[in-house]
Structure 1
Amino acid sequence: MPTLGSLPTDKPKLELTFVVNGSPRSHSAEISGVVTLTPEGLLENGVPPTLVDGSLVLITGASPFRLRGRITAVLEQLLQRMSQHGSAGLAVSAAPGTRQMFPPAIVDQAASLGIALLVTSAPTECWEGVHEEIQQSRLMFAERRAAQLSSLVQELPAQLADPRAMQRIADWLARVLDCQVLVSEPERVLAASPATAAEQLAQAIIRQSVDGVLPETLSGPHTQLISLAPASAADTVLAVARRTPFDEADLRLLRHAAKLLGLVDQAHREYRAASDASHAARSAAFELLMDGEVDKARRVMANLAPGLLETETARIFVVETRPTSRDLAARRFSASVGQQALVVPDPRNDRRILIVHPIRLDEDSRAEVSAELTRLVGALGPSSSLGGSGVYSMRLLADALREATTAQTFAALQPDPVALSVHGADLVSLLPQAEAQHWARRLLHPLMRDESQWEPMRETLPVALAYPYTVAARRLCLHRNTVMRRVSRAAELLRMDFTSISDRIAVALAMELVTQREDSTAPRLTGLEPPSLARLLTTPHVHAWAQTLVRPIQADRRDLLSTALAWLNFDTHVEPAARALGLSEVTVRSHLRAVENHMQRDLSTLAGVRDLQFSLHVVTGQPDLCSGQRGLSVVAC
């Protein structure tokens, strides 16, 4: 847009020069148009009642002697009207070489009102069309500025928490004004465009903070510093610099951008404050749940998530990921399942996210939430894992957390980094397969060395060890005596006592490994001493699995552990176990049903008894795993 200072340069044919400069801002005053008057018209009609703001008033056909007398009084009125309407200046046409065009009284009045006085020696026809050109220029400028402001508004974030909003506005400002841009607080840089702007503009910010003044020179000689929130005395500052001057339009655009940046900064601050308060409340609710203070936790969450904790049961999930990704992942989980679950970063571990999923009896959202968590953990990459607990009473969520933590540890060791419940894990798949095959083949070698003998044993033993002989015979379509004869022969060759639950479990496991789990691609271990069964169970995977199964048994107020150990030591016979414990048989059976519920295993099956025996042995060291009679039994079992 043309200004009073740029018009003589842009249109030299107007031969326009300053007589009195008016206020210091006269040169930068924008011209909205040209209003042409004549001395005769002023004398006859008086001063126009209104003038367009920012207009340049041009009096044509005047001469020095004609601006004396009555016209002086009219000019004084005109200057007053121009001051009221913010006119840019007063220009009078004069012959070339005229020295004193305006009377001293008019000069003094113009100076006091801050109105510039100018003289033009160009013919009147040279001014024809100037007004229209200025109007066209103003229209083009307005359209361009409107487009710029519209573009600036487009950079506003759709969400208050958008961390890239300031950077986008800084990039836009640097591109539109061709300058360096820095948005900063005393302790940190919030946005810089280009990236080197932080280094280049740091001097300006330091100088202003120390001296309270702007430096005159920087990487470019023209620098502007604008506080984003002067009313609140915030320390956030917009700094810009370039090698060419900023005109008034540029400065207005800077101020608009600063306002938007200030709003974004304020939104970020308020969002962080609200987020911190919400995070603190959710963390407090979680800690209360862990302490069994369910009613207090519900009161804490009443305003944040009404009804979320108003259930009697819940599950807990534990997510582990990289520390650098933890907080972002927590926000994603909260955005995705936050309406159905309580999501908090673990305050004691910078890699973990803790999730409480209340379970309502009248709806089944379990699969939904766990499936969504599984998807989100998969998107985090291979360094992340997810563990889940079973469904627990709201007052026992500390136990659920321990189970979920164990499950997560278990999941981190698996190819699939998700273990929604370790209860469902298959023990055989957790064993080191090559070593387990070596152990199984060494144990079963007496049966396997004769092919004609191995085939009937391979068919009969897995079923006969798992069921009573009558049931096994029916399942195998064999005579009961045939089953008994084969089992007796196997016990003799293996030097095992199949009335011992430990021996039956060991042989059944070996048979499963050799007949069902052998991997043809796995390396064979030959020439080495086979590991013992106890050593096979020392892997971290098995330890995590065992802890998950045994922990609820240990936590029960009844002494279920002693009952389970006695029952196993007496080869799963209730009567002698009850006598040894000094309990009734009814009590022992009640304890065993509780063990089944805690472990989610059927103790009427050999597989269920095996999982009980192995998990107890791993956690407590009892019972013994194998009591075989042959010389190699200590090593093999």
Structure 2
Amino acid sequence: MATDDDSGERLRQAREHAARLTRLLDFARAGENGDDTVLRRLVTWLAGTLGGTVTLTGRNGEPLAGTAAHAAVEERAGELLRHVAGGRLHAAAADDRHGQLRLVAVGRSAPHPVLAAGLPGPFDERAAALLTHAAGVLAPLLRAREAEEHRRSAEHATACLRLAVFQLLMGGEVTLAQRTAAGLAPGLLDADTARVIVLEQQGHRRDTLLRACEEATGGRALTVRCAAYDTQVIVVVPARDGDAPGDAGGPAPADALRRLVAGRPDVYLGAGGLHPLSRTGEAYGEAARALAVARFRPDRVAEHSAQTRLAGLLDPAASHAWAARALQPLDALPYHARAPLLATVGLGLEFTAVNAAKVLGVSRNTVRARMDRAAALLGADLADVRARAALHLALHLHATAPGTAPGDAPPPASLERLLASGGPRAWAGELLGRLTPDDRDLRRTLRVWISENTAVEGAAARLGVHPRTVRDHLRGAEHLLGRRLVPGGGDLYEVVLACAALADVELGPGPGRVLCPATVHG
């Protein structure tokens, strides 16, 4: 005959069991997104509730949760664990000197994940039921986890494909890049020209920025995680009908990205000019330099301004003839070797060998070897910033006039003579004149720093100041010039050539010669 005490105890146990089932439902709701943390928390809670050890193994026998007890379970269960995982048994129990071990298959398809629990004594009815219910809850959680893994795998594969397309563009392989991009979206790169935009967000939030860029561009641009800088996103925007709004009537991708920046106070944007797809490397360099300027702008946006650049002010025929003669030693190379060499050199002049290698998808040793080979063929000391500046200009000019050949024009003028003409001198005077309002004589610091091959310590010794003072002067010059000087690249090279145009820096032959004498004095 049941007593009131017995009825009360049964009621208490029923309520306790109901509370445990409710807790399992809480785990089920929390783990709908496939979060591994929920699996581990559920197994830890189950072990504490049962007063024993609990482990969860995956389809391939790998420990997913309760890993501390995994080895012990394998030793105790042995062949029984493999039978449950393989589907020959749905559940099994084993008794040994440690107590009782119960195994339950999770899910309907083999091979099964297995939930294993060990207690010092036998399982009572409620403990066995709780283990079975837990297995039932884990089944959809593990399906959600697998779905999330598939999603991440697909996302990773897509990201790798996008990066591969961008690296092909950077290497000048336009046709192959267009064919590969068709796997992302048909017609994605079906355009003759494009602009490159680089966005930056600090604080390890690049994935959020990437998704925002993809949404803003509506699938009409190639969006890539920068391989060199983990705070940057690169967007290649094909130019169709002058960047007009898309078929859906939305804003042009470039305009949409600018609006995105306006709503995010910690995001910066640098945009390059329109270039043929074969000159994506140059477009990327422009965007990277514009990004450096954007950091000084209140609206955090900067665009490359082609009309203020040196190359557009030089006499076209004379400058293209000079560039063709300067690069003539590379013409002897077969196309399959020349194209990657030029792509690598162009990027190697903008970035360090390590970062250039990441962007191109090759090893740093490959970048250094190609740079060394180009230097040997051209007779240029590319360790000298003046040589790098001259070669950077030659590559840009040659890219804008690919049909020019040394035999098509009279012997070219020297680089010094090109820079000494009226347009370049006026441009250089205006550019360096921006330093005048600062009473620290920034132009003198800049001149000495370049003469010392951009060595801060050497410049400080010649100026008789602390290296920190030189660095402060350089930061001030960057702000006034609107150009990035450190760590170098196209902006620095233009400043070097501006100094040369005004005779602040000498480009002639010597230890730091820019090109071999035959091409300089032709």
Q: TM-score range by the shorter chain?
A: 0.3 to 0.5
Q: Report which of the two structures shows the higher radius of gyration computed on alpha carbons.
A: 1
- TM-score, normalization: structure 1? 0.40
Which gives a bigger RCO, structure 1 or 2 (Cα 8 Å, sep 6+)? 2
